[in-house]
């Protein structure tokens, strides 16, 4: 489905595609992950120079004042080219947590994030269960004198070893709070861990008796979880756009290979089985575009509609990306399974993305609750 983009949005997309296509070679990306490159400094510098981190931040807050849809176009393009940069973790999730925090913290931290001077990440999960409750979140914030003490361990922290700040979710009495932690704070220990998606390296971060001041309190998860829900669902909407971009890359790889690969004296794309696989990929991607674009066009202040659209996008786009990434490997045959071909990077990214903020199955369950089933 071709959504109607404004002239500005077309310009953003064309400019991003041009820049990234010139800078990113899939074979070089394979080499970088093989060398355990944790962040592509040249590409991150490009993001900073282009002002992409400040795109959807209001002019009042020091940004460029573009819309959510404008910024989400970048996520789609970045999903297609799969650079090793922390735009999702720092430029979307962490940035949104800062934007929804108190004015003092926002005025201190936001300029550093949107300028690219500092990198932030979110530290939420401690196991493979994504529901936020007292059983799954054991990291604890306790009062001490005029401040607080943080203790706990967080897993799956994206770009943790490249980050300057962490937004850490901790249990505080009967509620939960996000607190801001500097990587240089005493008691912070960062360890590299294996990541399924090697373009989004992960870390485990340990917090032992880390002192936290009152002015580093971020958002609190109240009974309605309203602030966190807004941040989470905006992030899921952006993630779904990334998944659409990655899915499109898989289709383009498959169709190109189907035209070039000769078997039995003719291109494999002339065989009906391959044609049907590629046609089904296209059908699924166009459907995914519909829900993804719808999710980023929702008024972010309409929390009910945002939640519904983001969860639908999360569930459907995750499943589509997984399916077309697998189909891409099937179309390529033996070479699709090799380390030398980028197909495996998209396949692993699809699987990893589908677990972000919970599974597609859990998202469907939440949708069912919203429609009173």
- In order along its 373 residues, the chain shows pLDDT tens digits of 456 889 999 999 999 999 999 999 999 999 999 999 999 999 999 999 999 999 999 999 999 999 999 999 999 999 999 999 999 999 999 999 999 999 999 999 999 999 999 999 999 999 988 888 889 999 999 998 888 999 999 999 999 999 999 999 999 988 899 999 999 999 999 999 999 999 999 999 999 999 999 999 999 887 555 789 899 999 999 999 999 999 999 999 999 999 988 888 898 888 999 999 999 999 999 999 999 999 999 988 888 899 999 999 999 999 999 999 999 999 999 888 898 899 999 999 999 999 999 998 999 988 998 887 6
Are the beta carbons of 166 and 205 closer than 8 angstroms? Answer: yes
- Are residue 349 and residue 257 in the same domain, yes or no? yes
Beta bridge partners of 172: 175
Query: HSE (CB half, 13 Å, CA atoms) of 93?
Result: 24
Domain-embedded: residue 136: yes
Q: Are 316 and 287 in contact (CB under 8 A)?
A: yes
d(CA 254, CA 330): 9
Partnered with residue 179 across adjacent β-strands are 168, 217
At residue 158, what are phi and psi to the nearest 5 degrees?
Answer: -65, 130
User: Do 235 and 351 fall into the same domain?
Assistant: yes
In a domain, 210, yes or no: yes
Q: For residue 251, what pLDDT is reported? A: 98
What distance in Å separates the CA atoms of residue 131 and residue 352, rounded to the nearest whole number? Answer: 17
Are 282 and 244 members of one domain? yes
Domain membership flag for residue 113: no
Q: Specify the residue for token string 């401690």.
A: 126
CB atoms within 10 A of CB 174: 6
Say which CATH number the domain at 269 has. Answer: 1.20.140.10
The DSSP code sequence of 25-89 is -HHHHHHHHHTT----HHHHHHHHHHTGGGTTS-GGGTS----HHHHHHHHHHHHHH--S--TTI
Residue 60 confidence (pLDDT): 96
Structural domain for 216, as ranges:
121-221
CA angle 107, 223, 225 (to 5 degrees): 50
- Angle formed at CA 356 by CA 351 and CA 361, multiple of 5 degrees: 75
- Judged by DSSP in three states, 245 sits in helix
Do residue 73 and residue 202 come from a single domain? no
Round to whole Å and give the CA distance between 33 and 255. 25
> Does one domain contain both 138 and 157?
yes
Give dist(CA 115, CA 95) in Å, integer.
11
Domain check: are 272 and 365 in the same one? yes
Q: What is the pLDDT of residue 223?
A: 55
- Count of C-beta atoms within a 10 Å radius of residue 227: 19
Answer yes or no: do 265 and 141 share one domain: no
Q: What does the block give as tokens for 13?
A: 């997309």
- Domains: count for the chain: 3
Q: Same domain for 363 and 246?
A: yes
Q: Domain check: are 163 and 260 in the same one? A: no
CATH assignment at residue 209: 2.40.110.10
The answer on 259 and 205 residing in a single domain is no
Give me the pLDDT at residue 225, please. 59
d(CA 272, CA 275): 5
Which residues, in sequence order, are bridge partners of residue 198?
A: none
Q: Are residues 347 and 264 in the same domain?
A: yes
> Is there a contact between 331 and 257 (Cβ–Cβ < 8 Å)?
yes
Furthest CA-CA distance within the chain: 79
Domain boundary (195, 221, 247) is at 221
pLDDT at 2: 54
- The encoded tokens of residue 373 equal 């089933």
């Amino acid at each position: 489905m071709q959504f109607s983009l404004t002239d500005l949005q077309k310009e953003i997309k064309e400019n991003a595609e041009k820049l990234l296509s010139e800078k990113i070679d899939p074979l070089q990306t394979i080499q970088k992950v093989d060398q355990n490159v944790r962040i592509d400094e040249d590409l991150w510098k490009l993001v900073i120079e282009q002002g992409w981190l400040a795109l959807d931040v209001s002019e009042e807050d020091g940004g460029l004042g573009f819309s959510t849809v404008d910024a989400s176009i970048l996520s789609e393009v970045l999903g297609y080219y799969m650079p090793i940069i922390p735009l999702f973790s720092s430029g979307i999730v962490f940035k949104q947590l800062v934007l929804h925090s108190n004015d003092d913290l926002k005025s201190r931290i936001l300029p550093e994030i949107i300028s690219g001077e500092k990198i932030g990440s979110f530290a939420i999960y401690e196991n493979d269960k994504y529901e936020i409750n007292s059983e799954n979140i054991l990291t604890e914030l306790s009062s001490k004198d005029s401040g607080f003490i943080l203790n706990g361990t967080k897993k799956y922290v994206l770009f943790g070893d490249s980050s300057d700040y962490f937004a850490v979710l901790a249990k505080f009495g009967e509620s939960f709070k996000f607190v801001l932690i500097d990587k240089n704070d005493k008691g912070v220990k960062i360890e590299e861990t294996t990541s399924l998606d090697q373009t989004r390296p992960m870390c485990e971060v340990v917090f032992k008796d880390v002192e936290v001041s009152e002015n580093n309190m971020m958002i609190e998860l109240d009974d309605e979880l309203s602030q966190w829900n807004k941040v989470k669902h905006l992030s899921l909407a952006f993630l779904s756009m990334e998944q659409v971009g990655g899915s499109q890359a898989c289709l383009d790889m498959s169709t190109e290979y189907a035209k070039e690969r000769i078997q039995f004296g003719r291109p494999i794309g002339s065989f009906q089985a391959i044609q049907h696989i590629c046609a089904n990929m296209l059908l699924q991607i166009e459907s995914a575009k519909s829900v993804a674009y719808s999710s980023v066009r929702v008024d972010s202040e309409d929390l009910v509609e945002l939640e519904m659209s983001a969860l639908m996008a999360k569930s459907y786009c995750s499943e589509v990306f997984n399916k077309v990434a697998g189909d891409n490997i099937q179309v390529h045959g033996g070479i699709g399974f090799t380390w030398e071909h980028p197909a495996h990077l998209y396949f692993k990214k699809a699987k990893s993305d589908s677990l972000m903020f919970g599974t597609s199955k859990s998202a469907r369950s939440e949708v069912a609750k919203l429609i009173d089933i």
